Structure formats: C-alpha cells, structure tokens
Structure 1
Amino acid sequence: MNIRCLPHLNDRAAWLAFCQREVSYCYTAQPEALVDFQTSYLLITLLEKRTRNGKQAVKYSIGSKTSMQPAWNFIKACDFNLQRMADGLNQVDFNGNVRDNSLLKAHTDLTVRKFFSKERSVISPSHIGQLMPVLAEPEFWDLHLCCRILANKQFSDLRTEQRALPDNSEFMVEFKDIPTPTTESILIAMIDKPEKWQINRHPNDSQRLIISRDNTPLYSLKAQYQPIKPRLTQRVPRWSLSRR
C-alpha cells in the first residue's frame, strides 16, 4: 500500500484535512513519524532518520475504547502540534505514574501506551525518498527507479528467475517450482539492504528488467509507464468531535 507523506501535522488545518481523508493514515516529514487515526486510538510511530526496519521504532497509543473524543482532546491540548506531542510523549516516565506528566494529567479518560512497532515495513521517509510513479522509460535503471516501479504497481508479468543450467543456451529461465513473492516483500528487502541488489535489462528481452541479489538473478518483470490517477475522494468522518 502506498502511504502518503505529509509535510507536517503541526496545525489545526492540517489535522482537520488529515481526518477528512478517506484513510487517516500517513507519514509526516517533520517530525518523521507514521500517524494512524482510523479508530478511537491515535497511534504515533516515531521514526529516526534512516530507519530501515520499523520494528526498531517506538510507537505510542493514545485514546479510549469508547470514543475518539479523548484522543482528539489530547491533540487539541497539544495545540494540534505533532512535534509537541512527540516531545511530550518522549518525556513521559512509563515506569511510574503516567498521569503525573503535565501533558497527560488533565485527561482522566485517556489511556497511553508505549511499545515497539511490529511492522517491519515501516521505513523512515528520509531513507527512501518519495516513491513517485515513473512516467517515462529511463535511459539507465537504478535501484530507486525499480523501487518506484514496485511501489506504484507499474509492472506486469513479475516472475521468479534462476540461472539457466550449464547445458541450457538461455541466459534466464523461469523457475516454476518457487512461487513469486509479494511486491511488498521484494521492496522491503531491497530497501533494507540496498547494497546487495542490482537492476539490469534482460539481455534477450529489452522490455524486461532483471532484479538480482549479490549478482544472482532472482526476479524479472516488465515495467509500465502509465501515470497513476490520484484518488481525491474524501471520507465523511464516522465520528463527531468538538473542533473548537
């Protein structure tokens, strides 16, 4: 799934626009975080620059089982400033009484938890940059271009490859005994250890790209260059909040 990266969530207008989106789920650039407000809990995953593995990131859950209002009140108490929320949560002593912290003690119906994220695919936006669609065939292929193709599903005929046997004249043959992995798993592996991956054109088919790891061909695909039509639909909020 492509996740939008917003410049920030540090003012009221940005939060209202975020909550009116079809999916209230995004990365932010300042501070670097993944924000999820699709339930009655506000989930904030704080990402350090160059984070490759989301399991290393600290995640906070703020909210109530019964209503979204406590989480929204927390957002308002922080002046709609995600940076202030992150700074305040980082100062909370979770080994003691959480409500002793000035950021939280006024919210009697608020539950706050701190834990490590379980999503390996959560990656710092500054590490990979924006994975925008590729609109024209490039003269030369590199790993970032291939990541953009994968992230935007701009390909067809993805298949697993192996080197041909010594007595086979073909450079590549399809390896039918191993199922092709998901696009996400390939993309995560490439981002996790970019130095191990290589992208080349197929020597016998100019329309195909060969994806290799440690110079061993593993996958191939045909790239496509049609731009992705943006989804502009905004959702009607399923909840009613006091927005003053």
Structure 2
Amino acid sequence: MTLSSQIVAQIRDALFAGDLKTGDVLGSEADLAKLFGVSRMSVRDALRSLEAMGIVDIRMGAKGGATIAAGSGDRFADSLAIQLKLIGVTREEILQARAGIESMTVAMATMRGTADDIDRIRQVLVEAEKHLDNPEKSAILGEEFHMAIAQATRNEVLIGQLRAMREVLMPPAQWPDHDQAQKMLDVHLELFRFIESGDAAAARDAMVEHVKHWITA
C-alpha cells in the first residue's frame, strides 16, 4: 500500500469511527505532511483521492486546506447509479430490488407523510393527467410520483437508492403510449387514495402488485 493510500485509509477509518465529522479541519498539505511524517506529494495525492471520494473539501490559497465535507444525497445516488451500471445489473435485478424497497417506502410514506407531502404527490398526478399523450413526459412524471412518495419517508437511504435505480432504468426501452400511460395513472391514483386515507397495508400491497407488473412486462 502506498503512503498516500495509507493516509486515505486512516482518514476514512477515522470518519467511520466517529473521530471525524463534517466541518472538521484537517489542515494544509504542510500540516498533514508533518502529522503523517510523509512528503507533501504523498499528502497531495491522498487529498485528491479523498476529494474524489467526497470525503474532503479543499480550499486553495494562503488560508486554504482540507476539511471534512458535508454529505450529499445527490452524490450518494449518483455514485450508486454509476456502480450499478458498471457491475452490469440487469433491468430485472433492479425491478426485483425496487419491489422490496418501494413496498416499504409507500408504507412509511403513508404513516409519515405530512399534508405538504400528500399535496406534492397529488400535484404530480394532476400533471400526469395533463400529459397522457406525451409519452416521454408521462414516463418521467410516473417516476416523479414514486420519488415524491420516497421523499415523504424522510429516509435518505431509501430516497438515494430509488434515485440511483431510476437513473439506471431511464430512459426506458420504449415510452408508454396513451393507453399504457392511462393504466399507469389509474394505478397511481389508486395508490394515492390508500396513502391519503392512511391505509399503509393496502398501499404496500398495491405497490407490490404494481412493481410485479413491471417485472413481468
């Protein structure tokens, strides 16, 4: 293991151990070179790797240096989507995973969703009804419906996973025609009625059937 890799490993381990947190100042290249007993070049290589991993932010200049970065849900989702694509997951694998995740998500959203969350989901459905003859817009709004449900859970792990899966699946092999878009809207309206009425069990069961249809389609 190179010296720079050792520095990366130590800082990463300290982060997971709770010894480092967002906003903590690691210092300048010179500070870190002295701390780890290595050259500034080794520190520079380590900081580049840590920055690419999203662990540190680096500020240049006389008062610059490295600090532990803030987390980003978007970055988490994007990184996961890239890795899913690179390992070659199939559409079927994604949909199988979504079946489990979305059934949990819709139940949690039903129990946790606020009036604003319900209104946000409703507005997506209103827009979807306006665009039944626009295949691309209809499909995008269909995914936005699922994301609006996920956001109502307040669970960043679920939200990030669904964002990543959506990224891998979009665009679909074929955009829905009017009849397909109408069927999708009808299912979404039924799901929304269960969410709005607070029936988490019915919402979960309906979502399972909905995603099963994707797998067999």
Query: Structure 2-normalised TM-score?
Result: 0.26
Higher helix share: 2
Higher strand share: 1
Query: Structure 1-normalised TM-score?
Result: 0.24
RCO comparison, higher one (Cα < 8 Å, 6+): 2
